Amino acid sequence: MKHILEFRLFEYKAGPKIKIKWTENDAIITLYYEKFGLRKLGVTNDNVEAFVNEYIGSTENSLKMQAACIRYLLTLNNAGVPSGLPNYSNAQENIVEKYRKFSEPELREVVQDILDNMTDDEKLNNLIMADEYKKEEVRKGNQKKQETLPKLEEPRDKFGRVMKKVSDIKATPPFQIGENIIHRKLGPGKVLSINGNILEVDFRTGGVKKIAYIPELFL
């Protein structure tokens, strides 16, 4: 008996050019993954990413997020607060209602039927989608890092004019107040105060000066 469900049920945008589509088949696989893992399908922990790329067209991280939605539905009737993510779809709700009482062998038969009937073209398309999705995950990760970086203050002189940035410090950040540093042009000095990337330094020969360093140069 075939359990292949061809129509798409829910989708969401993963990025400006990517739309990941999750079918009922994907929801069934995710339900099996959440309840029983993938080992009895011949998938080891090291191969979960490759499996999801080929058979769902997404990533392991995305599968875990979808599994958290399934987990929420499975624990709705449990005593206490359900665990997982509450932003589940109608499709996931329908799949859980239909298959949640299946035993491991019964649900594995349904999943194996889905996997066996997937064409090479479908697998190839899934791999292409997964590759684009992974690029988008990297882009989002880099964007999040940039958003969390502290904004560096531009060094200014007593007239409020932006000073030229200096990165000739022979030391490695993070700097500490009271630390002795050596500047290639100004010589040795002691750090008096720190404000972002701005150091106020008392140089032996030049007196107190504000200098700026570029953190990226020390990475």
Model pLDDT, residue 3: 38
CB burial of 118-143 (b: ≥16 within 10 Å; e: otherwise) equals: eeeeeeeebeebbebbbebbeeeeee
Q: Does the pLDDT value for residue 213 go beyond 90?
A: no
The pLDDT of residue 20 is 57
Model confidence pLDDT, tens digit, residues 29-59: 999 999 999 999 999 999 999 999 999 988 9
**Nearest C-alpha neighbor of 108 from the set 167, 171, 37, 163:** 37
Q: For 76-134, how does the pLDDT look when each residue is reduced to its tens digit (9 = 90+)? A: 876 667 788 888 888 899 999 999 999 999 999 999 999 999 999 999 988 888 888 88
Instruction: Tell me the pTM.
Output: 0.58
